[in-house]
Structures are given as C-alpha cells and as structure tokens.
Structure 1
Amino acid sequence: MENMKYAEELVREFLFFRGFTSTLQSFDKELSTDIGRSFHKDQIFDLIFSLYIPKFNSQSLISLFTFFKQCFSASETLMITTLSKLQISVLRYYIVYAVQSGRNDKVIDFFKLHGADLLQRDQDWMSWFAIPYIKNPNLDPLFRVYFSKEWFDALNLSVRNFLSEIFNGTHIL
C-alpha cells in the first residue's frame, strides 16, 4: 500500500513538473472514484459477484482479471497460476449464472466475444460451448458439479482467500 501511494505521488509530481495540469486534475478525479484505491478485498469481491456477473458484464470481469495478472511479476508463477485457475472458475460461474437466470443469449454472446481466446488457452472450454443448447445442463454429468451450492461456496471462499492473500500481502506493486 505504501508503494501505491508513492507511485501516485510520483505520477502527480511528473504531471505537475511537465505542466499537464488538466491531466493532473483528471488523474485526481479518477483516483477519487477508483474502486480499487484502497484495495479492499470485499469491494472487489462484490464487484465480481454482485455487479459484473449479475449484470452480465463479461468484458469488465475479464478486464479485472487481466489487471490483476499485470500486477504480478513473472517470478510469481504460483500466484499467476492460481489467478488463472480462479478466472476459469469465475467465468464458468458466469455461464452457470446466466443459464440459471434463463439468459442463454448472454452465454451465446459471451462465447462470441471471448470463445476464441478461451479455446486458445484451454481446450477444456470446447464442451462449454454446448451448454446453452442442453435442455437441463444442471443434470448433465459434465456440468452438474458447477450447478451445485457446494461448488459455488468453494468458489466464493477461494476468491475471498486469494483476494486476502494479494491485498494483505506484498503482492500488489
């Protein structure tokens, strides 16, 4: 957290030194509305599970995970690997939530936007492309676990624990 404040002061100093006063004003305005400013894990958790997923905002969801990945150095492979696995699970929950909400159109839109990228990273996504066309995916042996309360609870706990680790540790900046 100290490093973050120091970095913000460096940016302010640079903008002031170069005479970019309108940019400095914009920077300060953006910081005042920045949800991640204090890196409060509960706010980030709510952003994922109470805003992005219920509002079917897949682009912001993926952008958030991309931002987190950029915060780790290449030497932190365990954290990057864990984050990638959590991203897969959260995206699968996004799909499950859409199906449970009767919004198969959102699942189809999701795959139109992100399907090619997901398949490039992991071929396990191939079977997920069929989910909007399966009558009862919650009964399908391949997807049944993702519709269970136990899986959702485990996902929630994993995301909370991960956020606690990165925000209470020294992993961000």
Structure 2
Amino acid sequence: MENMQYAEELVKEFLLFRGFTSTLQAYESELSTEIARNFQVDKILDLVFSVYIPKYQLDRLQSLFTFFKQCFTSPADAELISALVKLELSVLRYYVVNALKSGRQDKVVEFFGASGNYLLQKREEWQAWFGAYS
C-alpha cells in the first residue's frame, strides 16, 4: 500500500510539473472516492475483453499482466501470483482462439512470433500448442 501512495504522489508531481492542472483536479477527485481505492474488476475485464483482445492489442494485454505481477511482490502474495499466471495463460489462449475464429491468422503468427520462444522454453502448458515437445 505504501508503494501505491508513493506512485500517486509521483503522478501528482508529474501533472503539476507539466501544468496539467485540470487533469490533476480530476485525478484528485477520483482518488477521493471510495471506488478508486481498489481495482475495478468490471472495468479491467471490459478493457481486456472489449478492447485489447478484439482489437488485437497484444502488447497492451501483456503489459497489463506485467503490471499486475509487479503489484504482488511479497512472499505472502505467492498464491495470488500463481492465480494471476494461470489467468494470464487462459487469457492469452483466448486471444489466440479469438484471432483464429475471426480469421486473423496474421495475429496468431504475430503472437507466436513475438512470444513463441519464451512460451516454448518457460511454459510447459504451451508445448502442446506448438505441436511438438522439446
């Protein structure tokens, strides 16, 4: 939680430095509401399944999961990280299936071109998707 407060202060400092006073006011207004105290699951899911996947924004999708993994850094968060990794695996598979169903083989090739080596080396769960075991 301490990291979150520090990050909020950095954002405020940046906005002030750049002269984005209207944005700062809106930011502070949203921070003061109780709804801004937690992740808004509905909005995150909407972002993933209504924007990132249908528009094939793989880099943003992967960045989102990287961000979430960075949020859980203590040893007590090990169970949450494990669940997050499984969720990431399922969402990335959904991305591939959605691209295939939509006839966007180019996005499937792009996906495996960008992530294939990592997935093959680090993730046993993906080996069957490559059609061979190493």
Question: Is the Cα contact below 8 Å between 1:95 and 1:107 reproduced in 2?
Answer: yes
Equivalent pairs counted in the alignment come to 121
Answer 1 or 2: which has greater helix percent.
2
Report SS of the residue matched to 1:56.
coil
Query: Any residues of structure 2 matched to 1:22-171 within 5 Å, and which?
Result: 22=18, 25=20, 28=24, 38=36, 39-75=39-75, 76-129=77-130
The whole-number CA distance in structure 2 between the counterparts of 1:97 and 1:21 is 42
8 Å CA contact 1:119, 1:125 repeated in 2: yes
Amino acid at match of 2:84: L
Q: Which amino acid aligns with 1:107?
A: V
1:49-81 Cα offsets, whole Å, 9 max, x none, are 111110111111111000000000231100000
TM-score under structure 2 length normalisation: 0.73
Tell me by how many angstroms 1:96 deviates. Answer: 0.7
Could you list the runs of 5+ residues in structure 2 that have no partner in the other structure?
29-34
> How far apart in 2 are the matches of 1:48 and 1:10?
27
Q: 1:110 to 1:9 in 2, by over 3 A?
A: closer
Normalising to structure 1: TM-score of the pair?
Answer: 0.58
Identity of aligned residues (%): 46
How far, CA to CA, are the matches of 2:105 and 2:125 in structure 1? Answer: 20
What's the C-alpha RMSD, in Å, of the aligned pairs?
A: 3.3
Q: Could you tell me whether the CA contact under 8 Å between 1:111 and 1:129 is conserved in 2?
A: no
Q: Which runs of 4+ in 1 moved over 6 A?
A: none
